[in-house]
A = this chain, B = another copy of it.
Amino acid sequence: MSPRLQRAGTGAAPQKKEGKMKPLEKLTDQIVRRVSINLREFDFDVRPYVHRTVPISHLLKFCAFYGITPHHPVHFRSRHSNLAGSYFLGKCAIDDSVIYKSDIRGDELKLRGEVIHCQGEDIPAEHDQSFVIRDSFLVKTLVHSYPHDPERLNRFPITSSVSLPYANIHGSPLRGCFLGPFSTVDISALHDCIVGAFSYVQVGELSHARIDPGLVWIRSGQETEFRFQFTKAIVNKYIFFGPNKGFRGIFADFLEARETEFQRVFETVHLEPVSVPSGASLNRYALLKPKSKIGENVLVAQGAYVENSTMGKGANAQENCYVIDSHLDGRNVLAHGAKLIHARLGEKVFAGFNAFLRGRADAPLIVGEGSIIMPHTIIDLEPESDAPLEIPPGHLVWGYVTDKETLRQHSIALDALSEVDGEFTLGEMRFRGSGSGFVRGFQHRIESILRDNGAYFDGEKNRGHAQKEQHISFNIIHPHLRGQREGLFPATDIRP
């Protein structure tokens, strides 16, 4: 049984022992109650999702890691919490939470005095920014970047929220939310919301809303909007998910097949060193399999998996990315959770959060230079495909693509999109606003990511994550194995 994904029907029921709840059960119960209260208007019971997601016994098995470098402000504090197998970087305060195999990566938190660009304003940070995770349950979740909510610039709170495997919380404060598996909340503040499986929202602010599974929704102010809705059948094919069921489907199969590979990474203190070019960084908790080539200024983040692939200069594979039998020309961005199999990416191709891009050995997926694969796009060639699928340079791709025909229904040349001003519809995709603004905004963001990740490091200037994370050390925190606090981690405070 995999500790990472809980298959339908195999989840551990909450254990009772002599009528007395164990502290971990008590803690989980308390979180579930708080979140359910926040979501009461939807008549949404969080319990069957939480208790089936990860068996309590697995919450005891793993230690937590707090990364320390000279480039990131150090302060970690945790109390009454379980942090099994999780990775933390930057300032974090965690109370009464269960965090399991999650990456809480604070390498873009702003220090006091640094300027935050926020909705057109330049605001100097009054305090060091920090993560605050309270009364929350995060399983295999990626939390990254700094808060972009102008009302709460110093803190990145995730309060009374539940997030399921492979959800991404990116610069997005949450309160009273439920995020389904493989969902993404991107640079948005959410309050009392339910985000369905494999949904992507980047909407500024959202309150008391329920997002259906498989919605990809970008909204910028009142003017610009992008919407694509996956059909229920496609969502279920890739992530079949429901209460008391855990989840299964193609994504689960893909990840489970590689689950055990990661064990070695966690079971050895000092791995045999892997030589990477200067300026590049291969995280100690990433997995680099044979026949892979790492170019200069490449960033391979923790939890990333690279096998039989070439990462060209300045390419990056962020947390939970899989790069298999693929070739990246360079300066590519694979956002958190993106997966590439039998793919060839031209320069500066961008693949968004949780994109699943699978060519076949005899029919690779070829993506031309400068193309943008929207977050939560599935390109999955049929196993019997015998010719490559080619996405021309400079295209935007979204939705569900399996061949040339579906590609036509789910892509547009960036130049053509730039001509749009007003409404534009193609298949299930609906766009309104300034096409050129949308394209420029996206390209600007890709440049920022490349810069932040260190793709442009010249040996002295333009230092980014790839360079700053080269000299990281880890504090390793273990749970209480027995006694009254069994399963909880000791209250820990780490400062410089």
- Determine the residue in chain B with the shortest Cβ distance to A483: B70
Instruction: Scan A452-496; emit 1 where CB is below 8 A from any B CB, else 0.
Output: 000000000000000000011111111111111110001111111
Question: Chain B residues with Cβ under 8 A from A485's Cβ?
Answer: 70, 496
- Determine the residue in chain B with the shortest Cβ distance to A271: B267
This chain's copy number in the assembly: 2
Q: Is the CB of A490 within 8 A of B269?
A: no
Q: Does A74 make an interface contact (CB < 8 A)?
A: yes
CA distance A476 to B268 in the complex (A): 13
Q: Is the CB of A74 within 8 A of B490?
A: yes
Report, as a range, how many residues of chain A touch the other chain. Answer: 20 to 34
Q: Is the CB of B496 within 8 A of A494?
A: no
Q: Does A443 make an interface contact (CB < 8 A)?
A: no
Instruction: Scan A315-339; emit 1 where CB is below 8 A from any B CB, else 0.
Output: 0000000000000000000000000
Q: Is the CB of A476 within 8 A of B473?
A: no
CA distance A485 to B494 in the complex (A): 14
CA distance A482 to B471 in the complex (A): 7
- The contact of A490 among B71, B481, B486, B494, by CB within 8 Å, is B494
Question: Chain B residues with Cβ under 8 A from A478's Cβ?
Answer: 68, 473-476
- Determine the residue in chain B with the shortest Cβ distance to A70: B483
Q: Does A266 make an interface contact (CB < 8 A)?
A: yes
> Provided the pairs A68-B490, A492-B494 are in contact, do residues A472 and B477 lie with their beta carbons within 8 angstroms?
no
Q: Is the CB of B268 within 8 A of A68?
A: no
CA distance A306 to B481 in the complex (A): 27
Which residues of chain A in 385-402 are interfacial with respect to chain B, using CB atoms and an 8 Å cutoff?
Answer: none
Q: Does A229 make an interface contact (CB < 8 A)?
A: no
Q: Is the CB of B481 within 8 A of A472?
A: yes
Question: Chain B residues with Cβ under 8 A from A492's Cβ?
Answer: 475, 492-495
Q: Does A436 make an interface contact (CB < 8 A)?
A: no
Question: Chain B residues with Cβ under 8 A from A270's Cβ?
Answer: 267
Q: Does A69 make an interface contact (CB < 8 A)?
A: yes
Question: Chain B residues with Cβ under 8 A from A479's Cβ?
Answer: 473
CA distance A471 to B472 in the complex (A): 30
Question: Chain B residues with Cβ under 8 A from A483's Cβ?
Answer: 69-71
> Provided the pairs A476-B475, A477-B475, A479-B473 are in contact, do residues A484 and B267 lie with their beta carbons within 8 angstroms?
no
CA distance A324 to B485 in the complex (A): 39
CA distance A250 to B475 in the complex (A): 37
> Provided the pairs A269-B267, A490-B494 are in contact, do residues A471 and B475 lie with their beta carbons within 8 angstroms?
no
Question: Chain B residues with Cβ under 8 A from A269's Cβ?
Answer: 266-269
Considering the complex of A and B, which 3 residue pairs feature the smallest CB-CB distances, nearest first?
A70-B483, A476-B476, A473-B478
Q: Which residues from chain A sit less than 8 Å from chain B, CB to CB?
A: 63, 68-71, 74, 266-270, 471-486, 490-496
